[in-house]
Homo-oligomer: A and B are copies of this chain.
Amino acid sequence: MPSYVVKENVSLDKRWVSEITPKAEDFSKWYLDVVRKAELADYGSVKGCMIIRPYGYGIWERARDLLDRRIKDSGHENAYFPLFIPESALKKEAEHVKGFAPEVAWVTRGGNEELEEPLAIRPTSEAIICPMYAKWVRSYRDLPILINQWANVVRWEKVTRPFLRTTEFLWQEGHTVHATAEEAQDETLRILEIYREFVETELAIPVVKGLKTERERFAGALQTYAIEALMTDGRALQAGTSHNLGQHFAKAFDIRFEDENQQMQYGWSTSWGVSTRLVGAIIMTHGDDSGLIVPPHVAPIQVIIVPISAGNWKETVLPHARSLLEKLRAAGIRCKLDDRDNYTPGWKFADWEMRGVPVRCEIGPKDIEKKQVVLVRRDNREKAFVPMEGLESRLTAMLEQVQDALFRKACEFRDKNTTNVDTFPVFEEMMESRPGFLRCFWCGSAECETAVKEKTSATIRVIPFGADEEKGTCVFCGKEAISRVLFAKAY
């Protein structure tokens, strides 16, 4: 390695990190810097479409597998339905088409022919899945249908932001049909709880479960439930939704079955989904001014091994680092060895911190002598000298500690930024100066909800479960309230 390369790169250390805009200065710019510099995603030539780069996709892939396991363990099966929805099918459920038509991409030409009927690229798949269910369901014995699919969907968005709102995104969408209203409601809430547990356990993001107001409801649903998270800029992010569709779609698409008494009945359906926006939620929940912090459960690289490159390190340190890598991999730890010879250890430290690898493992000549390594946690930068012997179990435990600490920190932030507010002047002032979740009484009218949005841009994120027990008067109009609700500015 020519020495000038090292020198040049030493000076890069600072520049590399300082290229990330501080969160406090411009949160939105900080977000885009992290996405770009950690190589999570990139933009291509089609407006609003993002490229999910391997590191970003690695996070999504792990989250997907962890959720997929839960979806299957709860009795659902995966399938795959077509990308295209005929215009006539999309129009069958009146509310549904009203909600989605403005953001649909249309295929009008196939090969060299103009199509007789334009095809919508699925913005969501109810309108292509329900006709199949109508065909498959005959008897109560065919129910419930519990199907999920992992797919891409397209919504023609005007303003986009990587992971959070993109023209095309990846998601899973569950679509179920049940024999009774009760079963459909149970399924809706069961999935909501699976989402909560998954997002909290694996992504270390605390969420609030609750019901959406009519205004925020999925187009065509009877009820929409959601889990809402609070990002570190004080804005809320809807992390997953579960819809009880009642009989709306069953009636529109004629999903009927013969019940145990030989009577024909319409089915009751649900749909539910989470998407690649969860990657955005991870960035905005855990990241700091040095860049990303990836929760260990979904980290593509959990431990980065950085050899201290002094002297003839390739002969002295590198072989030890390599056998360390093998040892940790054999123990099921996802790790990588940074053996690049054109960067200094200091540069590598900053680089991997920026990419949010949960634990750094340094190994140098002195460590080899002492049969130890140096471990540095990304979340709190704590440094520990740890003996080689038994390192695997120490590291496995440390990764769990990081996961826990990230969750606890996020809970603390969320709690500190959740405030009961009872008067509108305070509400307005808070939303301006220090946004977060504001728990307020609400009378239940769409007029108040709309007026609050117009004045402050805040919306009702959810009516949290159990929040209707407290009595009070609407923060906006002063009339008797139906519940406390969670207001926030949202992504």
Seen from chain A, the residues whose Cβ lies within 8 Å of a Cβ on chain B are 42, 44-46, 49-54, 57-58, 60-61, 77-86, 89, 102-112, 118-119, 121, 128, 131-132, 135-136, 141, 147, 151-152, 154, 156, 168, 170, 342
Flag if A119 contacts B46 (CB, 8 Å). yes
Flag if B107 contacts A107 (CB, 8 Å). yes
User: Which residues of chain B are within 8 angstroms of A60 by Cβ–Cβ distance?
Assistant: 80
User: Which residues of chain B are within 8 angstroms of A105 by Cβ–Cβ distance?
Assistant: 107, 109-111, 119
A300's nearest neighbour on chain B, judged by CB, is B77
- Bound-state CA distance A110–B147 (Å) is 29
A44-B128, A82-B44 known; A77+B54 contact, CB < 8 A? yes
24 interchain pairs (CB within 8 A)?
A: A42-B132, A42-B135, A44-B128, A45-B89, A45-B128, A46-B119, A51-B79, A51-B82, A52-B79, A52-B81, A54-B79, A54-B147, A57-B77, A57-B80, A61-B78, A83-B121, A102-B111, A102-B112, A103-B111, A104-B110, A106-B110, A107-B107, A151-B152, A152-B152
- Bound-state CA distance A51–B52 (Å) is 26
State the oligomeric state as a number of copies: 2
Flag if A77 contacts B106 (CB, 8 Å). no
Given A45-B89, A141-B342, A152-B152; 18 other pairs, CB 8 A cutoff: A44-B128, A45-B86, A45-B131, A49-B82, A49-B83, A51-B80, A52-B81, A53-B79, A54-B77, A54-B79, A58-B78, A80-B170, A84-B168, A105-B107, A105-B110, A106-B109, A107-B108, A108-B108
- Bound-state CA distance A168–B51 (Å) is 21
User: Which residues of chain B are within 8 angstroms of A102 by Cβ–Cβ distance?
Assistant: 111-112
* A128 smallest CB distance to B (angstroms): 7
- The residue in A44, A119, A152, A342 that gathers the most chain B C-beta atoms within 10 A of its C-beta is A44
Among B108, B135, B151, point to the contact of A106 (Cβ < 8 A). B108
Flag if A132 contacts B77 (CB, 8 Å). no
The 3 closest A-B pairs by CB, nearest first: A54-B77, A49-B82, A106-B109
* A85 smallest CB distance to B (angstroms): 8
- Bound-state CA distance A154–B110 (Å) is 10
Flag if A82 contacts B156 (CB, 8 Å). no
Among B79, B83, B85, B135, point to the contact of A152 (Cβ < 8 A). B83
- Bound-state CA distance A49–B104 (Å) is 19
A54-B79, A78-B54 known; A110+B156 contact, CB < 8 A? yes
Flag if A131 contacts B52 (CB, 8 Å). no
User: Which residues of chain B are within 8 angstroms of A119 by Cβ–Cβ distance?
Assistant: 46, 105
A119's nearest neighbour on chain B, judged by CB, is B46
A102-B112, A109-B106 known; A52+B77 contact, CB < 8 A? no
Flag if A121 contacts B147 (CB, 8 Å). no
A86's nearest neighbour on chain B, judged by CB, is B45
* A99 smallest CB distance to B (angstroms): 13
Flag if A81 contacts B51 (CB, 8 Å). yes
A46's nearest neighbour on chain B, judged by CB, is B84
User: Which residues of chain B are within 8 angstroms of A44 by Cβ–Cβ distance?
Assistant: 81-82, 128, 131-132
- Bound-state CA distance A156–B114 (Å) is 12
